[in-house]
Amino acid sequence: MRSLLQIDQLSVRFLSRPAVRGISLEIPRGASLGLVGESGSGKSVTALAVMRLLDDSAAIEGSITFDDVDLLSLSAEQMRRLRGRDLAMIFQEPMTALNPVMPVGEQVAEAVRAHHPEFSRRQARDAAIEAMDAVALPDIARRYRDYPHQFSGGQRQRVMIAMAIANRPRLLIADEPTTALDVTVQKQILELLADLRKRFGLTMLFISHDLAVVSQVADRVAVMRHGEIVEEGSCADIFRAAKHPYTRALLGAVPTMATPLDQPLATLDERDPRRPDRMASPITDSRETRRFMSRGR
């Protein structure tokens, strides 16, 4: 049986400028793959290509197969049915993804209803509460009608995760889901994701620039640089004996308890000299993305 997600020779160019250069990756059912690399290495573009959320200026080559379905050949309508149901994604900044003027419980319920139009309001509400319970949002029956700004950053990220898992997706893509959070909250969210993975048998693609973070939720890691995969292996192997100098630099950039306090921290040159004008974040197909975020309304 093929892996749940199989990416073969994927290339993405923006106006002839390559962002992803012929990468191949696969994630077997139930496995969790971490994708790491410095800023601009092509991690988000890869994730958005899988979700088919890149805008029209992106020229995509290669193939992306999900559960034996060739995603790149699906119609927009077929893709919309998969997105949010079988394929879910958590973005870095929950505040931009949540609707500020809609109670959080209703937003999660909407996510359910978008893919289960046959559900009554009551059933959608029950499913939403179940998902919000699963992500350990405290006292959610009472807070169902609270608005996003009434929750902390970590709680809002939990709401996003609840929305993502409410329809029991088979693949969950998490793109830097903890970068905006402080360290303690980050740890809690990582534990939650690891726990949900076990409970629901989720297959996961977890993106981060931080190898230490990735190793908490992934079995294997692929290291990306300048749009290519430069190294791939189990977390343990990569930590024990990273082969590629770039991976070693990524590891070296993480201070440990043994790092002397007066030692300057290693840094990676974040700017790609070949693309000094690179943009801060990828441009997505805004109509599709908005539609996905608001679950088809």
Ligand X SMILES: Nc1ncnc2c1ncn2[C@@H]1O[C@H](COP(=O)(O)OP(=O)(O)OP(=O)(O)O)[C@@H](O)[C@H]1O
Task: Give the interface with Mg ion as residue ranges (CB under 5 A).
Answer: 44
Q: Does 178 bind ligand X (CB under 6 A)?
A: no
Q: Which is nearer to ligand X, 83 or 209 (CB)?
A: 209
Task: Choose the one of Mg ion, ligand X, none that binds residue 82, judging by a C-beta under 5 to 8 angstroms depending on kind.
Answer: none
CB of 135 to ligand X, least distance (A): 24
Round to whole Å and give the CA distance between 84 and 213: 25
Round to whole Å and give the CA distance between 251 and 240: 10
Q: Does 34 bind ligand X (CB under 6 A)?
A: no
Name the token pair of 82: 């998969």
Task: Give the contact letters, 183-212, x = binds to ligand X (CB under 6 A), - = no.
Answer: --------------------------x---
Q: Does 271 bind ligand X (CB under 6 A)?
A: no
Sign of CA pseudo-dihedral 10, 248, 178, 216: positive
Q: Are 44 and 281 in contact (CB under 8 A)?
A: yes
DSSP E strand stretches across the chain = 5-14, 17-27, 32-36, 58-66, 69-70, 87-90, 171-175, 203-208, 220-225, 228-234
In sequence order, the β-bridge partners of residue 257 are none
CB of 12 to ligand X, least distance (A): 8
Q: Which is nearer to ligand X, 18 or 28 (CB)?
A: 18
The site for ligand X (CB under 6 A) is made up of: 14, 19, 37, 39-45, 55, 57, 209, 275, 278-279, 281-283
